[in-house]
Amino acid sequence: MTSVTTDVAAPDARKAGKFVYVTAVVLLCAWVLVPIYFLLINTLSSPDTVNSFPKPFWPEFDLGSLTFFAGFAGMLTALKNSILVAGMTMIMSIVIGAPAGYALSRFDFRGKELFRLLILLTRAFPLPLLALPLAVMFIQTGLDDTVFGLALVHTTLAIPFAVLITFSLFSGIPIELEEAAWTLGCTRLTAFTKVVLPLILPGITASAIFAFVISWNEVFAAAVLTIENRTLTAFLLQNLDTSPLHLKFAGGFILVVPALIFIFAVRKYLFAMWGIANR
Amino acid sequence: MAEIQIKNVAKTFGAYQALHDINLTIQDQEFMVLLGASGCGKTTLLRIVAGLETATTGEVWIGGRRIDHLPPKDRGIAMVFQNYAVFPHLTVFENIGFGLRMQKLPNDEVKRRVERTAELMHIEQLLKRYSGELSGGQRQRVAVARALAMEPDVILMDEPLSNLDALLRMEMRAELKGVLAESNTTAIYVTHDQVEAMSMADRISVMHQGKIVQAASPIEVYRNPAAEFVAGFIGNPPMNFLPATPSGNGKWTVGGQDMNGPVSSETLKFAIRPEDLRPSETGLKATAKVVEPLGAHLLVTCDVEGALFRAVLDSDMTVKPGDVLTLAPQTDRVRWFNPETTLAVA
Ligand SMILES: Nc1ncnc2c1ncn2[C@@H]1O[C@H](COP(=O)(O)OP(=O)(O)OP(=O)(O)O)[C@@H](O)[C@H]1O
Ligand SMILES: [Mg+2]
């Protein structure tokens, strides 16, 4: 922000600042929304319209591309695999991530700060580097080309977020509530299930959905580690470059929409992850 | 029977020693107040009794049973927290009944006890509400009701009234005292408000820097402070101190005047409460500096041979700054302290 000392310049500077701000917001929105808008238009248009120019402003609501897409061989299996992998990822990342988040917020232990940093650093390590050793290891252990194997990889991707989100959720619950429960006859476990869990359940749901989306959108590991049991992303990657344009749009649409809806539903908890006040 | 014995309890946080060798016995059904300035270790001691903090060394006994290794739920205690800790996801009814449900009492018994304690705390019309829909005072009542409903042997309270406004605090003070007197529980009550301590306690333990300086009845603590710290902490305004030099045989020179005192050859401190001074023909020569009419009394801040000296006088006296007053201390109220040990001299 600019700080202005002379009162003559103040109104101008403020106006300019506001202009920059509004422009930035508009540009950012456009950057996100315009591709989605074209995706929508093209998905819901007949194949002819997709290839023509200029585009209509309103979509034609021609479901041809989508119905063809749904009938595409292997498409439904891939969808089923995607849901399975994302579901497993969701469960595993919460089961592993939430206790870690709880420990981080409630206990003091040596190396706590380092641990927090390391959790984030796992995301800084590029997956392509890991792909080959992982593939080899998976073949050795027989985990290659299985839904569970892929879910494991996705879980490691989702865990940092699960830990950070639940850490901030647990930190938002005063320790006194738990202590009060202990003095009223609870063990650590019953205090957790009767007091803490009901209070963080919405947040846990959000972080589970986020894990789901991470897995749903992940394409690299999915493409490398599966052959028969492809997830939707890997399946589309494999098939779409040979498909006509309108099918590409339909495929992109099917990938983007669930992710968008989910992220929109849990957006306030994603802010909580970075310690920005939620609610 | 729930006598609490705290034996040789010490607590260190890293290198910081928060409690030094605390020894305290609290009688069955006694109302014990822990009083002291912020940071003196009151909460730490209370939490050690509750089992929310472990003592570094020492033992805690309740009702003849050693309990310092037990989790909070097995100690027969209930606690009221400073910020109330009312569960936000439960109604007032379920909050008060929380502990009873944990004991797996039958529904009608839970209902009976919740309703009775709610009535006792005058919150029976709030039972269906959530904590977000309550005022601070109401939340405080819920917190106390929740503890009382457990019918514990010992109730521990950490500054339960500190978040309330002055009027409500006075009201709740009397109410709480009445309710607890009827409930046959032993109580430890933490506060830094000396008026609260004086008015509620059977006994007060004055704490200072992790030690208990004096544990005695309120009037004893007020009249016969065991140490200079207690004398300077209790009472508003606190006790006056003046240096005293011995002139032999129990005679002392204080503020240029002769006084009778204990037989000692060391220098001592002479101490007197501001309200135990009377204007008189002979006595300490005090120059008035500030005069504050407080309605019932007149608080005069004076100077006696360079030392700060306060007197609480009758409000129909006329005193102006600059006046020289002659104040006679009420002889049976004079106390003497040893400046080396800071302890009272008999
Ligand atoms: N968990 C902790 N870690 C380190 N130091 C602590 C911890 N808890 C308390 N202390 C220190 O111990 C001392 C006593 O704290 P305590 O909370 O018992 O004070 P208190 O008498 O209750 O004060 P107040 O009236 O402000 O509540 C303080 O100096 C505090 O900083
Ligand atoms: Mg405290």
Q: pLDDT by residue (tens digit) across B76-122?
A: 999 999 888 999 999 999 999 999 999 999 999 999 999 999 998 88
Establish whether residue B15 lines the binding site of ligand 1, counting it when its CB lies within 6 angstroms of any ligand atom: no
Tell me if A95 sits within 8 A of A84, measured CB to CB.
Answer: no
Of all residues in chain B, the one with the smallest CA distance to A195 is B87
* Residues belonging to chain A: 279
B73 and A183: CB-CB below 8 Å?
yes
Q: From B146, which residue of chain A is nearest by alpha-carbon distance?
A: A184
Whether residue B80 has its Cβ less than 6 Å from ligand 1: no
User: Which residue, by CA, sits nearest to atom 25 of ligand 1?
Assistant: B38
Q: Which residues of B touch A187 (CB under 8 A)?
A: 71, 73
Q: What percent of chain A has pLDDT over 90?
A: 16
What is the DSSP pairing of strand B307-314 with strand B297-304? antiparallel
ipTM of the complex: 0.85
Runs of H (alpha helix) within chain B? 42-50, 92-102, 107-120, 136-149, 166-182, 194-200, 218-223, 228-233
Is the confidence at residue B328, as pLDDT, over 80? yes
Identity of the amino acid at B120? L
Helix (H) or strand (E) holding A268: helix A267-273
What does the pLDDT average to over A109-123?
83
Instruction: Please list, in sequence order, all residues whose beta carbon lies within 8 angstroms of the beta carbon of residue A265, skipping any fewer than 6 positions away.
Output: A206, A209
Q: Compute the Cα dihedral for B79, B80, B83, B88 and give only its sign.
A: positive
Q: Decide if B205 contacts B34 (C-beta within 8 A).
A: yes
| Mean pLDDT calculated for residue range A112-129 | 81
What does the pLDDT read at residue A179?
94
Percentage of chain B exceeding pLDDT 70 = 100
Query: Residue A179 and residue B72: Cβ atoms within 8 Å?
Result: yes
Domains of chain A: 11-65 (no CATH), 74-277 (1.10.3720.10)
CB contact under 8 A, B77 and A183: yes
CA B66, distance to chain mean position in Å, is 26
- Give the mean model confidence (pLDDT) for residues B63-76: 93
How far apart, in whole angstroms, are the C-alpha atoms of residue B46 and residue B32?
A: 11
Crossing angle (nearest 10°) for helices A75-106 and A112-121: 160
Does A4 score more than 60 pLDDT?
Answer: no
- Asked whether B136 lines ligand 1 (CB < 6 A), one says no
Query: Averaged over B241-265, what is the pLDDT?
Result: 87
Residue A277 has pLDDT above 50, yes or no: no
pLDDT of A58 > 80? The answer is no
Mean pLDDT over A140-146 rounds to 84
List, as own/partner pairs, every contact residues B174-181 make where C-beta atoms lie below 8 angstroms and the sequence separation is at least 24, other chains included: B174/B199, B176/B144, B176/B200, B177/B31, B179/B120, B179/B121, B179/B144, B179/B148, B180/B31, B180/B155, B181/B31
In this prediction, residue B226 carries a pLDDT of 94
Mean pLDDT value across chain B: 92
Tell whether B52 is within 8 A of chain A (Cβ). Answer: yes
In chain A, which residue's Cα lies nearest the Cα of B104? A185
Which candidate from B85, B103, B150 shows the least CB-CB separation from A174?
A: B85
Which of A250-254, B220-224, B293-297, B302-306 shows the lowest mean pLDDT across its residues? Answer: A250-254
Q: Using 50, 70 and 90 to split pLDDT, how confident is the model at A8?
A: low
Q: Is B103 on the interface with A (CB under 8 A)?
A: yes
Query: What's the pLDDT tens digit per position in B149-200?
Result: 999 999 999 999 888 888 888 888 888 888 888 888 999 999 999 999 999 9
Domains recognised in chain B with CATH numbers: 4-233 (3.40.50.300), 240-345 (2.40.50.140)
CB distance from B260 to chain A under 8 Å? Answer: no
Encode pLDDT of B255-276 as tens digits. Answer: 888 888 888 888 899 999 999 9
Closest-approaching ligand to the CA atom of B193 = 1
Kindly report which listed range (A37-51, A188-202, B235-249) carries the lowest average pLDDT score.
A37-51
CA distance B179 to B31: 12
